[in-house]
Amino acid sequence: MMAIMEHAYYASFGYQITSFFAASSRYGTPEELKELVDTAHSMGITVLLDVVHSHASKNSEDGLNMFDGTDSCYFHSGPRGNHDLWDSRLFAYSSWEVLRFLLSNLRWWLEEYGFDGFRFDGVTSMLYHHHGMGQGFSGDYHEYFGLQVDEDALIYLLLANHLIHTLSPDSITIAEDVSGMPALCSPISQGGVGFDYRLAMAIPDKWIQLLKEFKDEDWNMGNIVYTLTNRRYLEKCIAYAESHDQALVGDKTLAFWLMDAEMYTNMSVLTPFTPVIDRGIQLHKMIRLITHALGGEGYLNFMGNEFGHPEWLDFPRKGNNESYHYARRQFHLTDDDLLRYKFLNNFDRDMNKLEERCGWLSAPQAYVSEKHEANKIIAFERAGLLFIFNFHPSKSYTDYRVGTTLPGKFKIVLDTDAAEYGGHQRLDHNTDFFSEDFKHNERPYSLLVYIPSRVGLILQNVDMPN
């Protein structure tokens, strides 16, 4: 849950906090927030709070700034206490009072409201004196161990994870870190900082880059696979195809980048597919499926993006005359049988149901057997399933050989081209695929499949225990 802590500036999306212990009055009362969390728990839903301990609002009337009349009560004095990009104040993590304030804040939300953990915002900014600004992290260790690291902030994050997991051993903590700091998600007992997951922030950036800068036929399969699998062994990551920033005014969601203005005129099932809508719907499903299956050990979706919400999210601000018009999500669109949004929603539902049954997010990282640049094919195995993606905009392949580690009979269990997902129904789900004792791409067995253009499918070995 985002934007829960009280913030004076609505358009900050909850990231310019003025009162850390107060639930925002915009959405209701504290008791109603507790009821929301309790109701979610009754439905088996874990509720995490987006906590912003990386910076605070500069407001002095209703915030922490100048709390005792000086600029150094909770923050660094002088230029070090200001974040130039965010126009906000930076905590002095070496101060005992700051540590007490922030750690007690975490305990408050855990015990008073019953949250199950936290997503820590802006961890990269906390970890380094340069706050990650103007930095390109290559993964070289000299970037993570040196005078550029804010050791006080690092110790605070370690203490925060220790406190959270001591008070509530089943709690979950997630770090929003783009730098790839080593051991950030290793247990404290092993010398790590103690986070359970790290957000794989490069993944949504990669998809947006591809859609903005490259033709479909120029997509690099190897680069896509590298971005989706670029994480350290045993470091658990949360994968996501698009971030909340891309749903706000100033950027576009995947659906908007793919279909743009045609979403307002050509999403009716009563009209034929246009090339733009057809491409958008097919790639929207493929991007989300390969991100879900290959990108990490958890999957994140910003509400409404799963069905291609047709507009951005905008909060009341001077630029829109303080309008609430776009401060909404139109979930009713998926209930309209005459609109194609239902197809994307159906696919997202079945994709998540299949993962719940097969558990690929909790399985070891995938083995990628193929990333063919000319054919635009990516194939990999994870959790006993065989995933095949054809990103080519026009070429379909018959009798395409794909390697597998399992002998026996395979069946299609998910297919982005199915009619109920707005596809062209080019695959017969009654088809049996039999693997041969024929080594291919370093796999001991292989099978032949028909893989149409712009289609992702999952095959399951039906001879093995389900």
Strand, helix or coil for residue 125:
helix
Sorted by where each begins, the domain ranges of the chain are 5-360, 364-461
Q: Name the pLDDT band for 312 (thresholds 50, 70, 90).
A: confident
**CATH topology for 364-461?**
Immunoglobulin-like (2.60.40)
Q: Name the pLDDT band for 314 (thresholds 50, 70, 90).
A: confident
Residue 366 has pLDDT above 80, yes or no: yes
| Cβ atoms 448, 433 nearer than 8 A | yes
Active site residues: 121, 176
**Interacting residues of 67 by C-beta distance below 8 A, sequence separation 6+:** 73, 74
Instruction: Give the tens place of pLDDT for each residue, 217-259.
Output: 999 999 999 999 999 888 999 999 998 777 666 678 899 999 9
| Cβ atoms 399, 448 nearer than 8 A | yes
Q: CB burial class (10 A; 0-12, 13-18, 19+) of residue 134?
A: exposed
Q: How far apart are CA 241 and CA 200, in angstroms?
A: 10
Q: How far apart are CA 370 and CA 374, in angstroms?
A: 12
Q: How far apart are CA 189 and CA 297, in angstroms?
A: 22
Q: How far apart are CA 341 and CA 332, in angstroms?
A: 10
Instruction: Give the tens place of pLDDT for each residue, 22-37.
Output: 999 988 999 999 999 9
156-195: b (≥16 Cβ within 10 Å) or e: bbbbbbebbbeebeebbbbbbbbbbbbbbbbeeeeebbbb
Residue 329 has pLDDT above 90, yes or no: no
DSSP letters along 29-79, please? Answer: -HHHHHHHHHHHHHTT----EEE--S-B---SSSSSTTTTSSTTSSB-SGG
* pLDDT at res. 92: 97
Could you give the percent of the chain with pLDDT greater than 90?
85
| Cβ atoms 26, 13 nearer than 8 A | no
Q: How far apart are CA 388 and CA 392, in angstroms?
A: 12
* pLDDT at res. 21: 96
Q: CB burial class (10 A; 0-12, 13-18, 19+) of residue 246?
A: buried
Cα→Cα distances 145→5, 31, 140, 154, 173, Å = 33, 45, 10, 12, 23
Q: How far apart are CA 201 and CA 240, in angstroms?
A: 8
* pLDDT at res. 149: 95
Least confident of 91-95, 319-323, 383-387: 319-323
* pLDDT at res. 311: 79
Residue 466 has pLDDT above 70, yes or no: no
Q: What is the mean pLDDT of the chain?
A: 94
Could you give the percent of the chain with pLDDT greater than 70?
99
Instruction: Give the tens place of pLDDT for each residue, 163-206.
Output: 999 999 999 999 999 999 999 999 999 999 999 999 999 999 99
Residue 12 has pLDDT above 90, yes or no: no
Q: Which residue has the tokens 């009798």?
A: 399
Phi-psi region of 246 (alpha: psi -120 to 50; beta: other; left: phi over 0): alpha
Least confident of 89-103, 130-144, 362-376, 435-449: 130-144
Q: Are strands 5-7 and 17-23 parallel, antiparallel or unpaired?
A: antiparallel
Q: CB burial class (10 A; 0-12, 13-18, 19+) of residue 145?
A: exposed
Q: How far apart are CA 252 and CA 257, in angstroms?
A: 6
**Interacting residues of 73 by C-beta distance below 8 A, sequence separation 6+:** 64, 66, 67, 97
* pLDDT at res. 250: 63
Phi and psi at residue 18, in whole multiples of 5°?
-110, -30
Q: Name the pLDDT band for 19 (thresholds 50, 70, 90).
A: very high
Q: How far apart are CA 342 and CA 362, in angstroms?
A: 28
Q: Which amino acid is at 160?
A: A
Q: How far apart are CA 174 and CA 184, in angstroms?
A: 10
* pLDDT at res. 325: 86
**CATH topology for 5-360?**
TIM Barrel (3.20.20)
